[in-house]
């Protein structure tokens, strides 16, 4: 068992939750009649940004747009691999306008952005994992989009079917620890997809439903530090036993919209030298 792991500096893209609210329901977590504490959300989000920077990571920000309450969930806007940007075509009409300000940001930074023809929700369902991209489907991103992703990046795409509406995006049921391993909640997946994951990752960290419902699989790892919700206690213990360093971060206000740490974090992956 490794007693230490090496972090890799990351570049993250985020969006301040200035206009965060739950104004509609597009997943089981969302209840428009329950109020959102925007001040608390801003404080939690700022703690996330400060913690990333304190661990040596670069954090860029997209300016929030009034009327787009879910724009804070930057991970859904795109997936970036080797400096190439595959944009989003959101399933819900309410979220489709979010693509415009994110595309503008990427273009201002000198990137070209690919427009998918099929419904695709960025890193919500597209998880780069070393040699391949793990791709979720079942509730949002379509299998046709998986094919587009493979053609665009030239990277093998592993399609995985989600079956539990509480885990409507892949990044609520699985996250990458490093280039070789993942953590996931098996029951979020179809039987065939569970078999695929077991074959690909025989040493994966398996989460309980309690940890998954605490958004423990919506965590972010830099290869050593795992930025994780404080409620995912069993998962944090397993990670510590594997040599990772859990860094608890409370983003509970965002769970009212079905989001967490990873949902608020887009990783910009440049070409690695």
Q: For the chain, what are the domain ranges? A: 11-268
Contact 14, 265 (CB under 8 A): yes
| pLDDT value of position 271 | 86
Instruction: Give the pair of three-digit tokens for residue 187.
Output: 């029951």
Contact 7, 222 (CB under 8 A): yes
CA distance 247 to 47: 12
With a cut of 70, say whether residue 96 has pLDDT above it.
Answer: yes
169 assigned to active site: yes
Q: What is the pLDDT of residues 113-136, one digit of tens each?
A: 999 999 999 999 999 999 999 999
Supply φ then ψ for residue 59, to 5 degrees. Answer: -125, 120
Q: Which CATH number applies to 11-268?
A: 3.75.10.10
Considering 57, 91, 146, 169, which one is annotated as catalytic?
169
With a cut of 60, say whether residue 197 has pLDDT above it.
Answer: yes
115 assigned to active site: no
For residue 4, name the pLDDT band (cuts at 50, 70, 90).
confident
Mean pLDDT, the chain, as a whole number? 97
With a cut of 80, say whether residue 272 has pLDDT above it.
Answer: no
Would you give the distance in Å from CA 66 to the centre of its chain?
23
For residue 273, name the pLDDT band (cuts at 50, 70, 90).
low
| pLDDT value of position 1 | 47
């Amino acid at each position: 068992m490794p007693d230490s792991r090496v972090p890799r500096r990351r570049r993250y893209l985020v969006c301040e939750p200035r206009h965060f609210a739950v104004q509609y329901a597009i997943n089981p977590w969302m209840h428009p009649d329950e109020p959102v504490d925007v001040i608390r959300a801003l404080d939690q989000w700022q703690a996330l940004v400060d913690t990333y920077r304190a661990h040596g990571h670069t954090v860029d920000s997209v300016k929030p747009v009034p009327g787009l309450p879910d724009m804070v969930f930057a991970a859904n806007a795109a997936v970036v691999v080797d400096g190439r940007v595959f944009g989003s075509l959101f399933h819900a009409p309410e979220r489709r306008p979010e693509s415009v300000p994110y595309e503008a940001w990427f273009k201002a930074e000198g990137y070209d952005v690919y427009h998918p023809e099929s419904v695709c929700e960025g890193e919500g369902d597209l998880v780069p994992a070393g040699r391949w991209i793990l791709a979720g489907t079942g509730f949002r991103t379509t299998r046709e989009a998986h094919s587009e992703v493979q053609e665009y990046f030239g990277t093998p795409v592993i399609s995985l079917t989600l079956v539990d509406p509480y885990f409507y995006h892949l990044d609520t049921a699985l996250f990458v620890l490093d280039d070789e391993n993942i953590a996931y909640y098996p029951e979020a997946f179809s039987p065939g997809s569970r078999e695929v994951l077991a074959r690909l990752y025989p040493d994966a960290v398996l989460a309980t439903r309690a940890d998954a419902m605490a958004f423990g699989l919506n965590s972010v790892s830099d290869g050593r530090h795992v930025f994780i919700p404080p409620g995912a206690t069993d998962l944090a213990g397993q990670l510590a036993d594997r040599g990772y360093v859990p860094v608890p971060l409370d983003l509970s206000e965002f769970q009212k919209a079905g989001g967490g740490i990873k949902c608020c974090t887009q990783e910009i992956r440049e070409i690695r030298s």
